[in-house]
């Protein structure tokens, strides 16, 4: 199998070097960028399978880079955030990052996150573990069509640009329509590995999903809130 390519956008060379060293040892192909502008250019040209994106970067910060990448590309992005900057995590997710990891992090945790996020993309691209139970499965809910094989969601005839995480959350809820899930359950089931994040991650992803799926995100018809409990999917 072709080596997966990880783009590291991090200006602190010592951190970049140690990540590169460890990921190379794990069999990844590595590209590096040391400022935001170079990072953005490489994200759009070297075709990475995943981007590790620091927030504090020269020229253009990680938030801007994330936003710019998302204008044209759904590559998984893991933001590297400083421990004390709680607000940064949420902002990163709002701008379309898939995940974040808090500095200082252990290499094992980083590698686990990278694997989990790349696995989802491979799955999406139908490269490897094509799930048998989903094979050829297309479900229609009102004017939404979810194609489990192609990882594609259409609203009327228009294909929605969802990130992988948004797709997975929608799929998970839709497959079990009317069943209410707590944020904790969704973190565990959709994010799918030992996740150290907080439940606001779920709220942010729901909000982004509603903006794409709903006619009026303020008055949703599909992705419903059960006050004090969590979320559920409703067939309109």
Q: Is residue 56 a contact residue for Ca ion (CB under 5 A)? A: yes
CA distance 43 to 5: 11
Q: Which is nearer to Ca ion, 11 or 214 (CB)?
A: 11
From the list 7-15, 101-109, 134-142, 197-205, the region that binds Ca ion by CB under 5 A is 7-15
User: CB pairs under 8 A, 24+ apart, for 91-94?
Assistant: 91/63, 92/55, 92/62, 92/63, 92/66, 93/201, 93/204, 93/205, 93/208, 94/204, 94/207, 94/208
- List the structure tokens of 110: 């980083």
Smallest gap, in angstroms, from Cβ of residue 186 to Ca ion? 31
Residue 92: which of 217, 231, 197 has the closest Cα? 197
Q: Is residue 15 a contact residue for Ca ion (CB under 5 A)? A: no
From the list 11-19, 20-28, 156-164, 175-183, the region that binds Ca ion by CB under 5 A is 11-19
Residue 36: which of 16, 12, 58 has the closest Cα? 58
Smallest gap, in angstroms, from Cβ of residue 10 to Ca ion? 6
From the list 46-54, 62-70, 135-143, 168-176, the region that binds Ca ion by CB under 5 A is 46-54
Smallest gap, in angstroms, from Cβ of residue 198 to Ca ion? 23
Q: Which is nearer to Ca ion, 88 or 98 (CB)?
A: 88
Positions in the binding site for Ca ion (CB under 5 A): 11, 54, 56
């Amino acid at each position: 199998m072709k080596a997966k390519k990880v783009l590291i956008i991090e200006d602190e060379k010592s951190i970049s070097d140690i990540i590169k060293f460890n990921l190379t040892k794990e069999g990844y192909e590595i590209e590096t960028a040391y400022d935001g502008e170079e990072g953005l250019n490489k994200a759009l040209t070297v075709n990475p399978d995943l981007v590790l994106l620091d927030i504090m970067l020269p020229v253009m910060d990680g938030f801007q880079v994330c936003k710019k990448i998302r204008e044209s590309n759904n590559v998984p992005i893991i933001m590297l955030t400083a421990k004390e900057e709680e607000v940064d995590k949420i902002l990163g997710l709002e701008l379309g990052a898939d995940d974040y990891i808090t500095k200082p992090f252990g290499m094992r945790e980083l590698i686990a996150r990278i694997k989990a996020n790349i696995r989802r993309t491979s799955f999406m691209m139908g490269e490897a573990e094509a799930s048998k139970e989903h094979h050829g499965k297309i479900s229609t809910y009102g004017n939404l069509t979810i194609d489990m094989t192609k990882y594609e969601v259409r609203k009327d005839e228009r294909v929605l640009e969802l990130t992988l995480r948004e797709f997975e959350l929608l799929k998970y809820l839709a497959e079990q329509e009317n069943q209410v899930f707590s944020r904790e359950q969704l973190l565990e089931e959709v994010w799918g590995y030992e996740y150290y994040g907080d439940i606001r991650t779920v709220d942010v992803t729901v909000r982004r999903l509603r903006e794409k799926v709903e006619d009026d995100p303020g008055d949703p018809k599909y992705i419903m809130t059960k006050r004090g409990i969590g979320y559920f999917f409703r067939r309109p």
